[in-house]
Structure 1
């Protein structure tokens, strides 16, 4: 740990020192060269107004749509390879998405996410439905650390803001792309922008992809395990009858069939793509989303904004729970989710010493486990199927109300203070939730409710050293509400408490070499109270429950990133070093047979009641690193040939707070290399790509005792025509 800390700190210091010494020479070049080689300004909009990333007190990775394409980021899973401190465990529709070790770490709708995702201003489904592809994207902003002012209760680890490309009035334009690759991969994508009048424009986009499975499955199974068939369409409409009024409507539809997620036991030693199974495999998401963004600028420069969202989705998932053909342990799940949201903002003009923003937010999220025909319409676990089965039916609606605001005051031309706060009230209910055990003739009914309210926010002090250097320090808080455990044979339903995070952070952002190099360096220290985990039920040995870690959990780390554009070279680099420690906490590992109680505060310690003091938090690797290098070769007639290489390293991590390697809790390090060679001439781009060029076999996720392999080497070509 100490050596890694020294190396990361030294690299950041050397980067700045060398850049500072050469800055005068770089700025002496001609204006024409500057325009050709400098980096464009990067803006963030997550704080409800447009601001320069280099002068905003937030640790963030911001990527344009073109950068996403160049770096092979087409979905949430690949985002972890281009952003520091980020991990994504892809085991199905309910991925574990964590930033700095905080996010989603348990496969249950009872626990909320810790990294919330917005698409076109609307917070998307908070539990399932995270597989929507990135296409025709304007930009992605990944903010690290609690976002308690603007994103609210489900952003203890961070927030992601994804913006698709908007219609515009520049003329008829767009693109079409076709791709062919190994594993029978075929992909088609495109968009067209139509300025229908001087005040009304539309944009239509689509994405379609098919691919054969990576797996060779032997043994009796059902479905087409791992074959994907994804189809998405989007329609966007922009109406601007005056300079003051802007109305933007977007409608998305996704039909995403992944054919299932084959897996085998976590401790297996065979090739993870050679699977034996006798259970079903399926995985399909069907979603629709409507977002309406209306803004009006008053004569005094104040902006009124309304953002309305509606989402509806159906997710179907089934798998072989033991991952072998030896047993008949199966799982079926059908989830229907409907989300309504509404946000209002009143935003002051930017060009004044005191700026402010106030807002209100409401969201209704209803998850339904329908009572329909077995197996597709049921939440059903067979352990083994037909012998010991149980089913869950019912609805789990959640409602959130919030008001928030932020004030920024320029004490001087260089010194600024910011204060943001958000009050939230959240309610989670179980309405007629039935757990049935047919073998015992037993049905348990749960009608319960839990409510929590909390004020979170951020206090920041920002100092602009000069036009090229920006320093900041802040304290920010985050909150994730508690929830309800399901009833079991012996005890009624119980509740678990909320999570609270306090983040102390300092950072330094600089722009050097006459605008050719940008850097971000930051350090954070976070205290985490009430971490929600699944452990053996403290009172009943046969069952598991969600509980809160009794003592304080500490997370700390360093993060650094840089982007450079020097002549024909483009370089992107990011690194993060982190450390986490659980406080004193006794818990029973549900995978270990035990007897007796296990009190979270007093134990007693035993082979099946463990003191987890000092254990590492799950999904919190100590070191992440990524670098991308591109060189543009200029050819006759204005053509360019651009080779690019991206490398990402994510160190080993634990998938459980029990840190038990013998039970499969260890997720080994991964080192991935992507290659891209693109030839551009006029409006045509021909590109050859290789993802996971070294064909590293690695485990991408471990969940419920099963391991899920990451994608093997994929290669192919694509051809894009812009117009």
Structure 2
């Protein structure tokens, strides 16, 4: 906590200095200038509200803002969303918000941050790499959101809201080129088919060579080969009834994510890693990724006089195949061949009161079911034509989640509102199948269930028309699961985790809406937090840490210094540690491996984002120049906090130049991202079996151009 106080003093000093500069600049501006920060409407509370009137610490990025910031994939959000970090474990993306994350990416694991597209929950970590195209906005909600969002929203929620059909013709197409032979395309067309029916279709392709150019004789990894298409059809037969039918198809190929290896003999566990960030030589056969998924969805809403009924449901199918080199070196001919056939079914029915009364309420229920036929084979490819199966895992996994919820608010006066919400969840999980490990067979027949009630209590105070304060207490819950440690017959189950969160904040606009600043302070108390621990062979399992604590402060701001100048940024301070975490006991209940006092994964003490842009007006268009930079202090990618798991502090700076014609029919953007060319580690592992440290690496310096043409 002392660290937070020292950081707060430094931030306050910086804020006063920045404030003086901003006010000095305004003093020179015209007193009667009429410009303000644009209002953004969100659906974070499953109602339409202004982002500044919503008592949630959140970041919202419209489709235009995503383009302006050069965001083209999920991981890019980490550079502009306060308190958000992304790491990769092979094709699996691990999202962390305020230090809350889940390293459990196996077939029974659950993420700690709920991710949804148009209300459809995405559970598989290897399906988080959606490229962002034809987006209306992205909402990043920080803190537990279990009452309204339920399943695995302990850390927060990321909502991807795509553009929907509108009753007018629109179309656009774009193409982009860059280093690493980058070639990207996007396009969309919106058609009004009648006065009651509208359709919208969009597509995206994304290609570039592998960033790890030195992995020969194998093909370079960390490449991209992605194609996606989306279709929406809406139908509004009456003013009261609205129907939307949606489908999306996505295909990922190429080599896929890779790891870079360093021989164990070259380092000790407490050494900070040093490796060739262009990759190192890999053997044959080539790694590959073949992942296809399809989503079919129905959204319906019927408005009665004082009540609306809302339904969202659909099916998502995922066919995932991957060959992975586990040592990241040329030294081994051992690879994992992974195969998953996944089917998700989701339904949510919600009844909500109108927005016109002092007492507002929502109640509903949802149902989610996932089935997964999984086969993973660890093979020796010394003879690439006839590989030898060393380990075989063949499981059928099924998870089922059912919940009911209620959320209410009451306006006691024009300035004071109280909120109360509750949710009851039941989760069932089973895994049945066989494994063969170096000739030793085992049979698995695991099943388990968890249930939990979570709740939310809050109070909101409208200090003025432009400033609100809030305080709330929320709880979160994430279900347990099963481990699968080769060579052991037991299932090694782990229990659910629970979270209690206290938060208070102020959200406000000042100087006639030209400056916006939000502040939030929070404290998380974790019980039985799920953490990934590796044994001496480098094989990981999930265990429950006894207690952990996260305390934090967040600041984010936007300032329109003049009609042509915008300054934005954020600062996040975290003080996080395990207060009770015995990773291994011995006879008599004595703790052999104690991680108490260590930092949880992905919890940098300080992260800062700064952005500045200026519009240059010309006769036929506007040139917007933007520079933005993101800084993080060091953090760890493993609960043991060993040197080889340490992620160094880093800074990433981007420059974007965007020219848009006056009639907005075409736009040309040039960009350079990660000017420092600072490639940091995004995952860290150690294998005693293959005698190597393995690292996932971030994106190096990239640059290119993008041309967009619109028919309006």
Shared fold by TM > 0.5?
A: yes
- What is the match of residue 652 of structure 1? 634
Q: Which whole-Å CA distance do the structure 2 matches of 1:617 and 1:466 have between them?
A: 39
Deviations along 1:263-318, one digit per CA (max 9) or x if unpaired, are: 222666332213111254222321101121100101x2311110012100112222
Tell me the residue number matched to 2:287.
Answer: 281
Q: What does residue 627 of structure 1 align with?
A: 610
Say if 2:549 is the partner of 1:554. Answer: yes
Q: Secondary structure at the match of 2:127?
A: coil
Tell which deviates more after alignment, 704-713 or 173-182. Answer: 704-713
Of 130-139 and 684-693, more deviation after overlay is shown by 684-693
Would you say the 8 A contact 1:563–1:570 is kept in 2?
Answer: yes
Q: Superposed, which structure 2 residues align to 1:519-530 within 5 Å?
A: 519-530=517-528
Equivalence for 1:334: 339
Provide the residue aligned with 2:277 in structure 1.
272
For 1:235, the equivalent position in structure 2 comes to 231
Q: 1:509 to 1:698 in 2, by over 3 A?
A: same
What residue is the counterpart of 1:368 in the other structure? 373
Question: In structure 2, how many angstroms separate the alpha carbons of the residues matched to 1:455 and 1:17?
Answer: 48
- 1:543–1:722 CA distance, 2 compared to 1 (3 A): closer
Q: Which residue of 1 aligns with 2:196?
A: 199
CA distance in 2, matches of 1:536, 1:229: 32
Instruction: Give SS of 2:79's match.
Output: coil
Measure, in 2, the Cα distance between the counterparts of 1:531 and 1:329.
33
Change (3 A) 1:29 1:251: farther
Q: What does 1:302-341 correspond to in 2, within 5 Å?
A: 302-341=307-346
1:417 matched to which residue of 2? 418
SS in 2 for 1:232: strand
Q: Deviations over 1:468-527 (max 9, x none)?
A: 110000001100011122375454223211100000000000111211111110000000
- Cα distance between partner residues in 2 of 1:13 and 1:339: 51
Give, in whole Å, the separation in 1 of the partners of 2:604 and 2:425: 31
Question: Which residue of the partner structure matches residue 92 of structure 1?
Answer: 90
Structure 1 equivalent of residue 436 of structure 2: 436
Kept after mapping to 1: 8 A contact 2:350/2:362: yes
> 1:247 — aligned with what?
243
TM alignment of 1:79-478, pairs within 5 A: 79-169=77-167, 171-221=168-218, 225-265=221-261, 269-279=274-284, 280-298=286-304, 300-370=305-375, 378-380=376-378, 389-431=390-432, 433-437=433-437, 439-440=438-439, 442-478=440-476
For the 8 Å contact 1:245–1:295, the answer to whether it is kept is yes
2 CA distance for matches of 1:489 and 1:719? 55
Q: In 1, are the aligned partners of 2:104 and 2:542 still within 8 Å (CA)?
A: no
Query: How many residues end up aligned between the 2 structures?
Result: 686
Deviation at 1:21, TM superposition (A): 11
Secondary structure of residue in 2 paired with 1:291: strand
Q: Would the alpha carbon gap of residues 128 and 420 (structure 1) be closer, same or farther in structure 2, given more than 3 Å must change?
A: same
2:558 maps to 1:563: yes
1:684 aligns with 2:666: yes
Does the 8 Å CA contact 1:74/1:134 hold for their aligned counterparts?
yes
The range that moved more, 50-59 or 276-285, is 276-285
Structure 2 residue runs without a partner (length 5+): 268-272, 687-692
How far apart are 1:74 and its partner, in Å?
A: 1.2
Alpha carbons of structure 1 residues 520 and 384: separation in structure 2 relative to 1, 3 Å: farther
- Partners of 1:224 and 1:18 in 2: how far apart? 48
Deviation at 1:387, TM superposition (A): 7.5
Give runs of aligned pairs for residues 588-607 of structure 1, distance below 5 A.
588=584, 598=586, 602-604=589-591
Contact 2:112 2:153 in 1 (8 A): yes
Q: How far 1:583 moved relative to its partner?
A: 1.7
CA contact (8 A) 1:201 1:237 kept: yes
Bigger mean CA deviation after superposition, 264-273 or 408-417 = 264-273
Aligned partner (choices 684, 695, 708) of residue 707 of structure 1: 695
In structure 1, which of residues 690, 696, 721 is the aligned counterpart of residue 678 of structure 2? 696
Task: Specify the SS of the correspondent of 2:476.
Answer: strand
CA distance in 2, matches of 1:634, 1:414: 42
Q: Cα distance 1:225–1:459, how it changes in 2: closer, same or farther (>3 A)?
A: same
SS of equivalent to 1:711: coil
- Corresponding residue for 1:667? 647
Query: Runs of at least 4 residues of structure 1 off by over 6 A?
Result: 13-26, 383-388, 540-543
Deviation at 1:445, TM superposition (A): 1.1
Query: Which whole-Å CA distance do the structure 2 matches of 1:542 and 1:306 have between them?
Result: 45
Give the secondary structure class of the aligned counterpart of 2:149. Answer: coil
State the distance in 2 between where 1:651 and 1:382 align.
40
Structure ranking higher in strand proportion: 2
Q: TM-score, normalised by structure 1?
A: 0.90
Counterpart residue number, 1:374 = none
Q: List alignment gaps of at least 5 residues for structure 1.
A: 371-377, 589-596
Q: Choose which of 618, 625, 645 in structure 1 pairs with 2:601.
A: 618
Aligned equivalents of 1:460, 1:571: Cα separation in 2: 32
Aligned match of 2:70: 72
Structure-1 separation of matches of 2:186 and 2:541: 45
Q: Is the 8 A contact 2:645 2:685 kept in 1?
A: no
1:573 aligns with 2:569: yes
